[in-house]
A and B are shown apart, each in its own frame.
Chain A
């Protein structure tokens, strides 16, 4: 089946520093990847849609300059949280749509727990 990995699985950083989270599709090419944020006991909030080779499309209310997304290849998208603050602490999940097949299946990574101190 389609497998999506994320790295790191958890990270603790100091306020003001930047953190990069990687999302990889391991056994398929992902033309489109998504980044979600999930607060405790809440649903997933779509942050942005990332297409390979083009700029990400951000959802309303998501700061582009704070959450930098790069989709450099068909198997890798990265999310960089710049100048992180405690309110950025959250569970970040990426997902990918399988390219080359019907795009109705979306597969999720295991998530990255970010804690900003």
Chain B
């Protein structure tokens, strides 16, 4: 299937950690991505993880991949107000250049 699912909203306080979750259905996915979209703007690539990895850390961002459960998460440490945006997970299928996107999670960071 082509379903990539995310929860629609997440609200956290500034300084807390945020965890955004994503599930996908296609076991042939090779790369999994997290993108950030600010209002009225395009998508900014945050990070990605190859399907044979379990974890990837990049400064405040930690990506965890559970391939058995087809579950991907993005943890943002020390969340700031500037992190408020919509976060999309996306998967790239084996042998295809197409990317399938989740519905996006709107992160609201309260001061």
CA distance A108 to B86 in the complex (A): 15
CA distance A113 to B39 in the complex (A): 12
B101 contacts A106, CB within 8 Å? no
Name which of B31, B41, B43, B102 has the most chain A CB atoms within 10 A of its CB: B43
Interface residues of B in 58-103 (CB under 8 A from A): 88, 92, 97-103
Q: A93-B42, A110-B42, A113-B40 given as contacts; is B98 within 8 A of A104 (CB)?
A: no
Q: Mark B33-56, 1 if CB is under 8 A from A, else 0.
A: 101000011111100101000000
- The residue in chain A whose Cβ has the minimal distance to the Cβ of B50 is A104
Determine whether A105 belongs to the interface, using a CB cutoff of 8 Å to chain B. Answer: yes
CA distance A109 to B43 in the complex (A): 7
16 residue pairs bridging A and B, Cβ less than 8 Å apart: A43-B101, A46-B98, A46-B100, A93-B42, A95-B43, A95-B99, A97-B97, A104-B31, A104-B48, A105-B45, A106-B45, A108-B35, A108-B42, A109-B42, A111-B42, A113-B40
Q: Mark A19-45, 1 if CB is under 8 A from B, else 0.
A: 000000000000010100000001110
Interface size on A, residues (CB 8 A): 22
CA distance A109 to B92 in the complex (A): 19
A110 contacts B103, CB within 8 Å? no
- The residue in chain A whose Cβ has the minimal distance to the Cβ of B104 is A43
Q: A42-B103, A43-B104, A46-B99 given as contacts; is B44 within 8 A of A108 (CB)?
A: yes
Q: How far is the CB of B24 from chain A (nearest CB, A)?
A: 13
Interface residues of A in 63-117 (CB under 8 A from B): 93, 95, 97, 103-111, 113
- The residue in chain A whose Cβ has the minimal distance to the Cβ of B2 is A46
Q: Which of A42, A103, A107 contacts B97 (CB 8 A)?
A: A103
